[in-house]
Structure 1
Amino acid sequence: MKEDYFERAKNYGFAPQLDILAALSRSDTVVLDVRREEEIAETGKVQGNGQWKSTGCTPSACPKLAADPTQFVQDKETPVVIYCRSGRRAVKAQEILEQSGFTKVMNAGGYDDLMDMLNWQQRDNNQNARS
């Protein structure tokens, strides 16, 4: 994890890592990347069992998501994992979804945070397989 992860987690209200990993293992989870297209092209996207979708946001606005959240997530009970670069833009997306009645929305922080979680889980799975 990046050095400032715990500070950002507190400030931006990140969901518990185990909850995020559990959601990512589900096929019905929507993984919502709120970075700009250029950022996604530069680093790639998080792969999980769920459906990956993208909508660009700023810390103060997510126009596409605000206009119609159901174009990204149809069922308000669907688990949604949101990430950006640091977790800040994901806060805005989470607010929009929760104000629209979505109940299982999780801020996972930044792309690097989420990749670190997935790599940690993979290492743990590999160690357990060897035991």
Structure 2
Amino acid sequence: MNNKLILTSFFALLLILGGCGSSTTVTGPTSTSTNKSQNNYSDSLYVDVRENDERAAGHVSGAIHLPLGTIQAGQTSNLPKDQPLIVYCRSGRRSALALTELKSQGFTNIIDGGGMNDLKNVQIVQ
């Protein structure tokens, strides 16, 4: 009986210690915005996919405002298909969804700018 208790305790300890060294990393959408300072995106058009109240708090100067829901509804005729588009939102989740949706609508030159804090070397206006 004593051996069973020791053996069971040993395996329980192994399970506990084995789990301590492992870790899981959850990452958000892939964003190429970290390379913006290294690449020339001067001919790109920024597309703000946030809602009206978020945009009012500040947005990239010259950006087109096209909320994600509008893109998902297919109302993208005002976006040029021959110009690089950089989509951005607050955190990066909606920009990734917008990128996928725009690709399904035939846009090919799209960059996921991620969230507002990911954007580098841009002028923010209100």
| TM-score tier (shorter) | 0.5 to 0.7
What are structure 1's unaligned runs of at least 5 residues?
A: 1-6, 120-131
Give the number of the structure whose alpha-carbon radius of gyration is greater. Answer: 2
Query: What amino acid does structure 2 have at the position aligned with 1:32?
Result: V
The 2-side partners of 1:86 and 1:118 are apart by: 17
Matches within 5 A, 1:74-113: 74-75=80-81, 77-113=82-118
Please say if 1:56 is aligned against 2:67.
yes
* Corresponding residue pairs, total: 97
Contact 2:50-2:67 within 8 A present in 1 as well = yes
Aligned-partner SS, 1:107:
strand
- Checking the alignment, whether the CA contact within 8 Å between 2:33 and 2:118 is kept in structure 1 is no
1:35 and 2:50 are equivalent in the alignment: yes
Distance change (3 Å), C-alpha of 1:35 and 1:16: closer
CA contact (8 A) 1:65 1:72 kept: no
Runs (4 or more) in structure 1 with deviation over 4 Å come to none
Aligned-partner Cα distance in 1 for 2:105–2:35? 25
Identical-pair percentage: 28
